[in-house]
């Protein structure tokens, strides 16, 4: 039931730093992160940025500069500003967005002939690459358990995410268990069918989870129990909160 984390990179012109960051994140961890980039005063992608990325086998020639205004109101897990100006002018994003600021030199301001300017682009590219590798590693440490959506057929993935989101949006009560959580779901004519569909596919992409469906006597409430080994509670909380856009009351009882 895992979705890729959404990341927006911001700089002033969306011409170099944020464009390279978008391409690098897609290359390093495109299976786990959905990256985008924008600028507070967008211009156009610098040819030196395209060349510096081409040298390491990453094609950003089809990327184009975009305004941050195009993204206002959209939800991101992370908004990362890669220049001081963008950090100062960054708008407010909804939900549980985490703001991160990384200050890199502006390679577009480099002087000299083409080889000298390209050398600056390479240096900044490598600095961004190092930061992103650490960022990806830190996120992996936060979630020692991970859901492998590649275990599902391509046409199953989106329908499974949609079914998971609909199922967990019906949570009426949360019960913390020794090794997981129990969720009382709003009853409906097809609830058990949806739960069975969810469990059958979730077992494939999250084999470390244990599933149990309990129906209380006399047509009472239906509970979905998710349990597992050490660390599974943090995984469940992160996954369900992500599905619901960060809006989840874990104290519901």
| Number of folded domains that form the chain | 2
Give the per-residue pLDDT at 13.
Answer: 92
- Helices of type H across the chain: 17-29, 47-54, 84-89, 114-142, 154-168, 191-205, 232-243
- Tell me: do 135 and 224 sit in the same domain: no
Q: 147 catalytic, yes or no?
A: no
Residue-wise pLDDT for 6-22, tens only, equals 999 999 999 999 999 99
Give the C-alpha separation, 45 to 221, whole Å. 56
Residue 233: what pLDDT? Answer: 87
In a domain, 210, yes or no: yes
Last residue of a domain, one of 121, 142, 163: 142
In a domain, 250, yes or no: no
Residues 124 and 192 in one domain: no
CA dist 150 and 194 (Å) reads 21
Domain end marker among 142, 157, 183 = 142
251 inside domain: no
- Residue 199 inside a domain? The answer is yes
Q: Of 91, 111, 142, which residue sits at a domain end?
A: 142
Q: What's the pLDDT score for residue 3?
A: 65
pTM above 0.85, yes or no: no
- Report pLDDT for 247: 62
The answer as to whether 248 is a domain residue is no
Are residue 203 and residue 220 in the same domain, yes or no?
A: yes
pLDDT at 77: 87
For 137-158, the DSSP string reads HHHHHH-SS---GGGS-HHHHH
> Do residue 16 and residue 101 come from a single domain?
yes
Out of 11, 147, 205, 206, pick the active-site residue: 11
Q: What's 171's domain CATH number? A: 3.30.1360
What stretches in the chain show pLDDT beneath 50?
253
CATH for 33: 3.40.50.2300
**Known catalytic membership, residue 83:** yes
Domain-embedded: residue 249: no
Which residues pair with residue 9 across a beta bridge? Answer: 37, 80
Kindly report, residue by residue over 64-104, the tens digit of the pLDDT: 999 999 998 888 889 999 998 888 887 777 667 888 999 99
* 132 and 167 together in one domain: no
Whether 136 and 11 share a structural domain: yes
Nearest to 46 by CA among 143, 151, 120, 127: 120
205 is catalytic: no
Residue 77 belongs to some domain of the structure: yes
Q: Residue 246: left if φ>0, alpha if ψ -120 to 50, beta else—which one?
A: left
Residue identified by tokens 């391509």 is: 154
Same domain, 86 and 163: no
- Looking at the structure, tell me whether residues 34 and 117 fall in a common domain: yes
Tell me the DSSP string of 74-96.
Answer: ---SEEEE-SHHHHHHPPP-STT
Helices 114-142, 47-54: axis angle to 10 degrees equals 60
Contact 68, 91 (CB under 8 A): yes
Let me know whether 92 and 170 are in one domain. Answer: no
In a domain, 252, yes or no: no
152 token code pair: 């599902």
Q: What is the DSSP track for 204-219?
A: HH-TT-EEEEEE-TTT
In this structure, are 25 and 129 located in the same domain? Answer: yes
Domain that residue 54 falls in: 5-142
Indicate whether 115 and 158 sit together in one domain. Answer: no
> Is 117 found in the same domain as 217?
no
Distance of alpha carbon 44 from alpha carbon 191, whole angstroms: 50
């Amino acid at each position: 039931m895992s979705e890729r984390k959404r990341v927006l990179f911001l700089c002033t012109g969306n011409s170099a730093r944020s464009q390279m960051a978008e391409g690098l994140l897609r290359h390093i961890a495109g299976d786990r992160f959905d990256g985008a980039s924008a600028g507070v005063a967008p211009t156009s992608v610098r040819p030196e940025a395209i060349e510096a990325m081409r040298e390491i086998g990453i094609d950003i020639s089809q990327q184009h500069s975009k305004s941050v205004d195009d993204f206002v109101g959209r939800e991101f897990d992370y908004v990362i500003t890669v220049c001081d100006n963008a950090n100062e002018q960054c708008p407010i994003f909804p939900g549980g967005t985490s703001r991160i600021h990384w200050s890199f030199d502006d390679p577009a301001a480099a002087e000299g002939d083409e080889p000298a300017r390209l050398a600056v682009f390479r240096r900044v590219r490598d600095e961004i690459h190092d930061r992103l590798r650490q960022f990806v590693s830190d996120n992996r440490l936060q979630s020692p358990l991970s859901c492998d959506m590649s275990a599902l057929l391509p046409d199953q993935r989106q329908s499974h995410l949609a079914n998971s989101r609909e199922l967990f949006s019906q949570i009426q009560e949360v019960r913390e268990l020794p090794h997981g959580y129990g969720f009382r779901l709003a009853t409906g004519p097809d609830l058990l069918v949806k739960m069975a569909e969810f469990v059958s596919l979730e077992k494939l992409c999250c084999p470390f989870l244990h599933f149990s469906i309990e129906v209380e006597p006399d047509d009472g409430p239906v509970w979905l129990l998710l349990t597992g080994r050490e660390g599974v509670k943090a995984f469940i909380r992160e996954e369900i909160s992500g599905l619901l856009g960060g809006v989840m009351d874990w104290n519901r009882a």
